[in-house]
Structures are given as C-alpha cells and as structure tokens.
Structure 1
Amino acid sequence: MMIAEDKILAARTALMWDHPFFGALAVRLTTIDATDDPRIDTMATDGRNLFFDRKFVDGLKKPELVFVLAHEVMHNALEHHIRRQTRDPRRWNKACDYAINGELADTKIGTMPKGGLIDPAYTGLSAEEIYRLLPEENGGGADGGQGGQDPGGCGAVLDAAPAHDEAALAEARAEMQTAVRQAANIAKAANAGSLPAGIQRLVDELLKPKVDWRSVLRRFVDESTTRDFAWSRPNRRLVPHGVITPGTVSIGVSHIVIAVDTSGSIDAEILRAFAAEINGAFCEGAVDRITVIYADAAVQHVEEFETGDELMLHPAGGGGTAFSDTFRRIERDYPGARACIYLTDLFVSDFGREPSMPVLWGVYGDPRAFDHLAATVPFGEPISIAP
C-alpha cells in the first residue's frame, strides 16, 4: 500500500500529464502532514501550502485524489483564500465548493469523492453569490458546531492572512495572479498552443480585471456634479475620528434620479449596499437631492430625498416591465437632473427614448447573464451589481 505522500505525488504527476494547468498550480504547493491539526480532517490550502490528513488520503482512490488536488488548486486560483473577509468559515467553504465542483465536473478531472457538494444552479456563480443564496444552518461558531471547516469533504480553504492585513492579502493576490498566468502558459505549450475551451474560459475569467461596481457608481456620481470645498460643511466621515477637514459642496443643485424596476424582486442585501454608497455621496456633499422612481411597466410611486436625509429603498414587486414611462416622467418633471441610475434585472424590451442626461444601469440578478443582457442596452453604461 502506498503511503499518503506517494499517493499525492502520483496524483500531481497525473495532473501534470493530463491537465497541466492544474498540475502546474499543484506542484508549487508545499505538502504538509496536518493529521494532528483539528482544523483539517481532509485537505486544505492557504495559497502556498497543501495540508493533508493522512487517513483521508489513504481512503481515496487515485481518480478521487486527482479531483481533490484540482479542487484545492481551484480554491487558490479563484482567490478563495483571500476573499472570505468576515464570513463564517464553514459556510464560506461550502459556497466555495459549489463554485468549484461544477466546473471541475464539466472539465472531467478525476472523480469527485462521494458526498462532494455540487448543484447545477450554483455552477458559474461566484462564491460570494452562492454564500448569499445558501440556506441558513443550525449551530453557531466558526465550524457550525460540526467540527472542521470542510463540509464538502473535497478539501478546505484557509485564509492567506487576516482580513485586516491588507498588505499581506495584496501580496497573496499578486502572487496568485502570477502563478495562474504561468500555469496557463505551461498548459498552452503542452497542448500545442491552445487550452481546452473549458479551461480557456476559466483562465480568461481568472485573469480578467475585476471591476468594483461601487467605484463605478461613485465615479458616475462625481462626474455628474460640480463641486468645491468648504469649511462650513466638514467631511462628516472624519469627524468621529477627531479630524476636521473641509467637505465638498455642490455648485448649483446636484440632482440625481434613481429609478427602481419593481417588476421583479431585488435582494435586500443589494439594496442596502447600493443605498449605503449613495448615502456616502450625501454625506460628502456630492449630491443635494435624489428623486426615487418606482416603476414596472409604468411609474407607480415617487419619493424625494434632500441633503441630511437617509436614502431608504423599499420597492414592491409589480407587473410587466417597460422603461419608456419612467424616462418620459424624468424628462417632463425633472429636466434639470444631472444623471439617472436605473436598478433593474434588464429583462425588458421597451427601453424608451434616451434621456438628455447620462444613464447608469445597475444590473442585479444572475451575474452569468450580465454580458448577454448588457449587450442589449441601447444607451447608457451597464454595471453588474453584486455583493
């Protein structure tokens, strides 16, 4: 019978021959026997090391171990060891497993061990999105009261550094980006210059620059206003820290219209995150007035907010979807507005006439459909709103 270290070496060699992209990422990990570590009852990785429980490895057949190694590699390539922040570790591991296993099964890498977490409904979603969709579990604490951090039995992911250590996390992210590029080049060379279609799509997604919708939103708000600095309105974000600096005031009334598509349901977490960003613009003096229009196929309700108010969004589901009535109302009643932000799932065919102001489409819903839906927008700038 082969010892655990030899089985891991054989599985790594198989990955190098059959799936060189995954193999190149696997061989860079330092293998560590963690049989006595209570956190690890299967395998785990923190981006640099591969921890293993000897009994777990002994119980796997070679195709299963190949799958587990690829699974651990994907945790790192997708930066799961960097992105947890303050989320519950056990729930985060479940979400990450669902994000990985569907992709690996489609690529036909090894055999997933019995009990591995897989659901076609989650394949293609980010771990953050899946984490939000997972049902609540009984039991508290970091391990949900069940011991260990690997509820899926295919290998866990550990943090590369504490969430507050931004320098260490940035270093880990840069290191992983370099490793993914190198692995992609190795795989291309091994396959006569091209990667299999499924792997190529995965690599493109991994290396595609990440766009933070919050930054785009603030840039959009800033570009729609003309501001100056004034001591009469200090920066309210710094006052609690005992720092008094001049805040910004708009020259003229800075008025933004927010349209909310109420034909479907909007996740409460997305609404809270969006409202928090707009409230930040309120505090900094970037916006003086906000008009919120709730509409499905027609305008249903309008609310007004001014400086000092807290933006609260409470849309209710409605009927069909059309944007033409919303833009007619904006042009008729709010011609002086500087910009319009439209929160919608973009499942619509009636966009209406382009208004005289810039439009930012905040698109919520399944992020896998974003590229297709964004291509249907006849005017304005679409961004994907996700936690």
Structure 2
Amino acid sequence: MASQQKLQKARARLMMEAPYFGEIASGLRLAADEDLPTFRSEREALRYNPSWLAECSVAQIETVLAAAAMHRVLGHEERGVRRHDRLWQLATDYAVNAMLRANGFDLPELMRYDPRFQGMYAEEIYAELRQSMTIQESQEEGSEAPPPPQREDEHGREDRRHTQKGSGKSPSPEVSEMQEAAEELERARLERIFEKMRRREELPEGLERLVPRYFARRIDWREELRRYLGGLYKSAYRFSPPSLKHLYRGYALPSLHSEALEIVIAVDSSGSVDEEMLGDFFAEVESLMEQFDDYRIELLVADMKVRSHRSYGPGEILERKIEGGGATDFRPVFEWIERELLRPTLLLYFTDAAGSFPAEAPPYEVIWVLSREAEVPFGERIVLCRE
C-alpha cells in the first residue's frame, strides 16, 4: 500500500514539475514484481519491487518514472536487438540518467551517472563501452586469471546477449496487424506530447538533440504534405456568385464554389544542391501538379537571387529550367513575393536550408521541404527522405 501511495504522489508531482516526463509516465503500465531487486523498464511497462519502492523517497520515485518514460521515448529496447545486453543496458542508462541529471532530477545511488556521457546517444556510449571492453580484454590476453564473474546491472539484469524473447513462432497476421496498430498509436501519442511541449517551450534540457532521430521529422513526408495541401484545396461556401435555385422565393443562398490550389513554390538551385537533389525537387513538384485538378502555381528557381519565374495551371508541362549554382540566400524569394504578388496562401520552399534567412517571418505560411535535417527560423519543415 505504501508503494502505491508513493507512486501516485510521485506521478502527480512529476506531472506538475516536469510535464513532459509526467505525460509520458502517465501512459506507463505499472507492474509489481517481487523477483526484481529494484525496477526495470520494459517497453510500455515499469516493473518494480514494491518492498524496494516503499523504501524510496517520492523524489526518487519521480526519477524512476522519468527514467522509464525516457527509455520508452527513445525506443531503447527495440534498438538493442543483437547488441551485448549488459553493455547496451549500461549505455542506455548512462544516456537517460545524464539527461535527467541535467534537468535537476535527484539520482539515487543505484542509477549510474558519468558526466562524460552528457548529451550522447546510447549508440555512441555503447561504442565507447565496447572499445573500453576490447582494450581491457586485449590487455588481459594471455593471462591465466579467470574471466570476470557475471554481474547484474542496476536493474537486476544478468550479462547476456540481447535477443528477442518469444516461442520462436511467428505471430499470426492478425496479431501482427494489432501490434503494428498499437505501436503506431503509441508513436502518435508520443509525437503529440513532444509537439505540445515544444510549442509551450517546456521540453527538457538536452531532449531535442536526442529525440528528432526518432520522431515526426522522419514521417512519411509525402503524406504529410498531401494532408497539408489538401486543407488548402477545399470547397467553400461563397455569396459570389449566389445560388440561383431559390431566387424565386425571394432569397439567395451561398453557392458551393470549388477553390483552386494557389501556392508559390521555390526551388533552391544553389551550388550546395547537387543534380540528384534538384531532380528530386522537380519530381515532387510534378507529383503535386498531378494530384490536383485545379491549381495555380508560381514556380521560382533561385540561389542568391531569383533566376527564373513561371506560372503553371492545369495540364501544363513542367519545364525543368535550372539556373544558378551560386551561394544560397533565401531573402530574394521573399522580397520577390512581396513585390510581385498579393499575399499568397503558402510558400513551399525546396532546399537544403544552407543559406541566409529573412530576419522576420512573412505574413503567410511557409513550409520548408528539406533534403536533410536542419533548423529553420520560422515556418513548418518536412524532411524529404530518399528511399
């Protein structure tokens, strides 16, 4: 009972004091296990020894919950397949615990911490631990001393190779589909929490370096772009022109008017964009033109200045006219739009993001379709993933 009361109190405090960790921990399944010496993180579950937990302070239990949450976020169990189990567990513990320490959590003695691993991925830490182990084995080669005994880590796991547990039989298609659906829902939940806390500027210190490799920056970018543009290409009720159907009754109703997709697309033709990347950019522009029945696209090709401009409507063939090769400066595109166009609905900019940005965000939406992971000062970003 004491452990349950402490768990509930620790969860509530974690939600108030560290909401990112708290929201993720609220989705963890808690399971008591008297066979464990302390606790263990297993995918969506936190298994713990209730007797040990009853001896912990509420602050220490907060740390345990936050650690389990981060192991879940970073998918450490899935990423550890075919790795030396004890070394991988040590590496993941060092990665998580260093981040918790940087965010002010009080680490109990059982939780390993080494400041030299601050801000490092588990894979990076694992490589260092493997190298250290190899050097040690090399130094001990030829010695008749017995090998070191099997040891348990802070979670009570014995040294072994990490393997997938199971009966060896493949799950049925129905079970596999259910598992995939559940995992997809969980990924979506974690992504929503991440984005919500990012907007509130409440992400933990050091998290943004670790998380983008595993979150929505690597989504199906085409589906995301289609979803976004589909929201612009919609039907809307308008009074001009009105529906004539009920004029004889003395009133006019708004008519259903189908809007065209009207956007500006800019393609980066600077020297840092190679021919393959330019080909990818233009191929995606063609794909967009094929998806919509009615559109108006203002296509700009630019490096440090706007090199060409052409308007496209339905049925027109995209001309792959490429001029440029100089330095990258995004400001001329925004200046051209301000000078030549009424305020557009959207600017879609295909680029590697290696250039000079405007000092301020424009009064319209911007989506950066990036050839690589990169930061942008404003607008949304979608990373183009080559298959």
Instruction: Give the TM-score normalised by structure 1.
Output: 0.44
Q: Which has the higher contact order (CA 8 A, sep 6+)?
A: 1
Q: Could you say which structure has the larger radius of gyration? A: 2
